[in-house]
Every structure is written in structure tokens, then in C-alpha cells.
Amino acid sequence: MLSKTSRYGVRALLYIAAHTDEKTLMGIKELSKNVEISTPMLSKVLQFLTKRELIASKKGRNGGFYMTDVQKNQHLMHVIKKLEQSEALITACMMGQKHCDTGNKCPYHDQVASIRSALQAIYNTDTIIETALKIKNAL
């Protein structure tokens, strides 16, 4: 399961992907309202996303946040790895055991392995923009 910061990051990123480009920027207040995340929390999340080059920003009077085509065409797994700052979501033992592998399995190792594979396939299938547009069109 993704951390709260990562869930907020994905929500904000997908909204930005669907509604911005290098000429159409989005301010934090508008984004906060649309993704239903408080402005202070969203500010931290956007700073995090910008530092990891998952989104871009322009400062100044007409500034705001946006995504380039290169950023929009990355897979969601790339974003999740950067947000979580590790691959623990995909590799860590569900039971929290330090040594859980094929030689020393936890009780759920085999079942979770198939779920992990499916999760990786899902996150590596669509790009950010494809996912964002699916969400936008579903609403």
C-alpha cells in the first residue's frame, strides 16, 4: 500500500497531467480544490514531486505547475518508485520479515508474489497521461 504522501502525490500528478502542458499552468489553490488536498499538505507534495522532476513549475506572477510530454509519458511505476523512494512496495515482505525469499518464506510469500507481479504489470502498462485521461474520462 502506498504511503499517504505517495497517494496524494499520485492524485496531484495525474490531475496535473490531464489538465496542463508547458503553456497551461495550474496554481496551487486551483489544484488543491480539485484534488481535495489541503493547500499546506499539497504544497509539500508538489515540492517533493518537483524535486524528483516528476512535475515542473514556473515561478512568478503567471507561474504554476505543469508536466512536460516526457514526464507525462513515463509509466506509473517510475513515479511510485520515486515517491516511495524504494521498491519496498513491490519487494518487501507483507509480514515484515527481513529475510523472506524462496528459501525462507513467510506464510503468504507465494500468494503475495503473484499479487506483486500483477501490480507491477498494472503500474508498467499505462503511461501517466494514459492513466490520467482514463480517470478524467470516467468522471
Domains of the chain: 4-138 (1.10.10.10)
- CB-facing half-sphere around the CA of 85: CA atoms within 13 A: 6
Cα distance between residue 119 and residue 102, in whole Å? 19
pLDDT score at 86:
65
What DSSP designation does 54 have? Answer: S
Residues counted in the chain: 139
As given in the structure block, the three cell numbers for residue 65 are 505547475
Alpha carbon distance 40, 37 (integer Å): 8
Mean pLDDT by 10 residues, the chain (139 residues): 83 95 93 95 94 94 93 91 73 75 79 81 90 86
Distance CA 33, CA 9 (A): 15
Q: Supply the pTM of this predicted model.
A: 0.83
